[in-house]
Homo-oligomer: A and B are copies of this chain.
Amino acid sequence: MATPSTPRRPSEARDRLIRVASELFYREGIHSVGVDRLVAAAQVTRATFYRHFPSKEDLVLAYLQSEDAAIQGAFAAAEQSGAEPRELVGLVIQAVADDVERQHTRGCPFINAAAEYPDPSSPIRVRIADHRKWFRSTLEHLMKAAELPDPAEKSRILVLLRDAAMVGGYLDGAQTIRPTFERTAREALALDPQAA
């Protein structure tokens, strides 16, 4: 009666844990954030934590999955925005630059997580690899739709440059790398018809 807003299925405590974990894991690194910190920040007890996640690693996986879902959602929204494929590639470049400047100022969650998990066969590294495969493949389809020559190679170029923008934005500052990133990307993808 007092609190009628009790969402049933998805479990509110679970969502809080994932939100808090996403924030803390990204800002401070994964190994640096213990379970104590997580349950305190999410206002959840340890028992609740381990009921929803068999181990801390499962929460890390949920964190990466939520990041993955956010990016996939952004791509899906952009594709349904009605923009022409050609300008969509330019929008991706701009979106990456915006993301580095505003949202992901501490680098790429997947790259950073990989730095902490050396074993390529670990579930976390597998999920990182899957995310990167999806990203590159999505870019290739985008390049194909834009009728750019050699879409596979161009997708690899954009993956390369996006990684660079993420790392460079974190370590050198977004404003420092933004013009260089955008220029290099547009040139390497041959987006602007006219040249010097």
A interface residues (Cβ-Cβ under 8 A, vs B): 27-29, 31-32, 106-107, 110-112, 114-118, 128-129, 132, 153, 156-157, 159-161, 163-165, 167-168, 170-172, 176-177, 180-181, 183-184, 187-188
Are B160 and A168 touching (Cβ within 8 A)? yes
Are B129 and A171 touching (Cβ within 8 A)? yes
Copies of the protein in its oligomer: 2
Q: Considering the chains assembled together, what is the distance between the CA atoms of A168 and B32 in angstroms?
A: 25
Q: What residues on B are CB-neighbors of A129 within 8 Å?
A: 171
Q: For the complex of A and B, list the 7 residue pairs with the smallest distance between their C-beta atoms, beginning with the closest.
A: A164-B164, A112-B115, A115-B115, A160-B164, A31-B31, A156-B180, A163-B167
Q: What residues on B are CB-neighbors of A159 within 8 Å?
A: 168, 172
Are A160 and B188 touching (Cβ within 8 A)? no
Are B184 and A157 touching (Cβ within 8 A)? yes
Q: Which residue of B lies closest to A176 (CB)?
A: B156
Q: How far is the CB of A64 from chain B (nearest CB, A)?
A: 13
Q: Considering the chains assembled together, what is the distance between the CA atoms of A181 and B180 in angstroms?
A: 16
Given contacts A27-B118, A160-B184, A184-B184, 18 further A-B contacts (CB under 8 A): A29-B115, A29-B118, A32-B116, A106-B118, A111-B111, A156-B176, A156-B180, A159-B168, A159-B172, A160-B161, A160-B177, A160-B180, A161-B184, A163-B163, A163-B167, A164-B167, A187-B188, A188-B188
Q: Which of A163, A180, A187 counts the most chain B CB atoms within 10 A?
A: A163
Are B116 and A115 touching (Cβ within 8 A)? yes
Q: Considering the chains assembled together, what is the distance between the CA atoms of A106 and B125 in angstroms?
A: 13
- With known contacts A164-B164, A180-B156, A171–B111 Cβ distance under 8 A: yes
